[in-house]
Amino acid sequence: MAQRTIAEAKALLDDQSAAINPQAWANLQAEVTDVERQVRQSALGYIQVIYDRAAHTTLVNGQGACEVRDAARVLTADLKAGRISAAEGAKRWNELRAQSRRLSAANERLAQDAEHIGVIEDDPVGFYDSTIHEKNPQLRPLFSF
């Protein structure tokens, strides 16, 4: 038994393919396939957690951006109609600008989350291998070979 990255296990099987009898090789190959399936499942669970959190944030962000836009338009109308003083207008404008900046920063983080999710969706096994397994030997899958 040995803990290896999936890439290491596959490379080892490829190297030994000629030396191992076909049935034994198929069994080892099935072992790798099973580990890949488990890792893929874990990766999808991880993605779902990030996605659920991001989806909630996008909903809040979208509403927030609409509120800032609409409030800024109302502010413009109030200022042009002379309904409010410059001091009141400046106070509201500063609050809206601060809110707008917060939303913009949150949207940047969401874009990064989307990139991150995309990388994992494209190659969940490769992602786990290159991040978790390579950096943490104790977390590498256990193989019989």
Residues of this chain that bind another protein (CB under 8 A): 47-48, 51, 54-55, 58, 61-62, 65-66, 68-70, 72-73, 75-76, 79-80, 82, 84-86, 89-90, 93, 96-97, 100, 103-104, 107, 110-111, 113-115, 117-118, 121-122
Q: Between 26 and 90, whose beta carbon lies closer to another protein?
A: 90
Record the tokens describing residue 76, joined without a space: 């413009």
Three-class DSSP category at 143: strand
Q: Between 18 and 86, whose beta carbon lies closer to another protein?
A: 86
Distance CA 80, CA 117 (A): 46
Distance CA 122, CA 144 (A): 28
- How near is the Cβ of 8 to another protein at its closest, in Å? 26
- How near is the Cβ of 36 to another protein at its closest, in Å? 17
Report the run of H or E that residue 138 belongs to, with start and end. none
What residues are paired with 143 via a beta bridge? 2
- How near is the Cβ of 24 to another protein at its closest, in Å? 35
Cβ-in-10-Å burial (0-12, 13-18, 19+) of 77 comes to exposed
- How near is the Cβ of 16 to another protein at its closest, in Å? 33
